[in-house]
Amino acid sequence: MSWQAEKAHGEEIAYQLAPLGKVEVVRFFSGAAMRLDGVMFGFMSRGSLFLRVDDVNRPAFVAAGMGPFSYERPTRTVALEGYYETPADVLEDAGALFDWCRGAYRAALLAGAQKRNARPKAKPAPKSEAKPKPEAARKRTQRRP
């Protein structure tokens, strides 16, 4: 599926999520990311919606038989445990879709807060003493009469 098709599908879903706020659908690799207030809570890829999960909402995805987004590398399969595929019955039920996307947005907000808190704070650069200019530089800056 082309990214334009993924974007069109994402925009259909975004329309159903209007009560949450303005959901932006933007290019994301070969698919389309879904963002609310600048926070990515899901993406469209290979015709499926993948939503952000955490320990609170992951059990619902697992109970529905869904798994994490994965892709093939030459030597192994890579699974992104933070995003799970959304069940088809949820996509067909506007109320359920709203609830699952709201949960994904909450998970994305919390994941972003944890990332920000985990970053080490930057140390201020040490103040260096002013170094005298080399003789050649002083000569160049002097004006001739």
Per the DSSP assignment, residues forming a β-bridge with 78 are 71
Residue type at 134? P
Structure tokens that stand for 97 in this block: 């879709």
pLDDT of amino acid 2: 72
Rounded to two decimals, what is the model's pTM? 0.72
Cα–Cα nearest to 52, from 126, 121, 110, 11: 110
The span from the CA of 53 to the CA of 122, in Å, is 30
- pLDDT tens for each residue of 85-103: 999 999 999 999 999 999 9
Q: Quick one: CA dihedral 97, 6, 24, 28, positive or negative?
A: positive
Asked if residue 138 is part of any domain, the answer here is no
pLDDT at position 47 is 86
Rounded CA separation 18/98 (Å)? 9
User: Within a domain: residue 123?
Assistant: no
42 or 7: whose pLDDT is higher? 42
- Considering the domain boundaries, does residue 144 fall inside one? no
- The domain tally of the chain equals 1
pLDDT higher than 80, residue 111: yes
What mean pLDDT do residues 100-109 have?
94
126 within some domain: no
Does some domain include residue 141? no
Indicate whether 10 belongs to any domain: yes
Cβ atoms of 26 and 33 within 8 Å: the answer is: yes
Secondary structure of residue 94 in the 3-state scheme:
helix
Confidence of residue 83 (pLDDT cuts 50, 70, 90): very high
Structure tokens at 13: 């879903």
In a domain? residue 127: no
Which long-range contacts (C-beta less than 8 Å, at least 24 apart) are formed by 130-134?
Answer: none
Write the CATH number for 40.
Answer: 3.30.1460.30
With 80 as the cut, is the pLDDT of residue 120 above it? Answer: no
Structure confidence at residue 24 (pLDDT): 87
Identify the domain containing residue 7 by its residue range.
3-118
Query: Would you say residue 136 lies in a domain?
Result: no
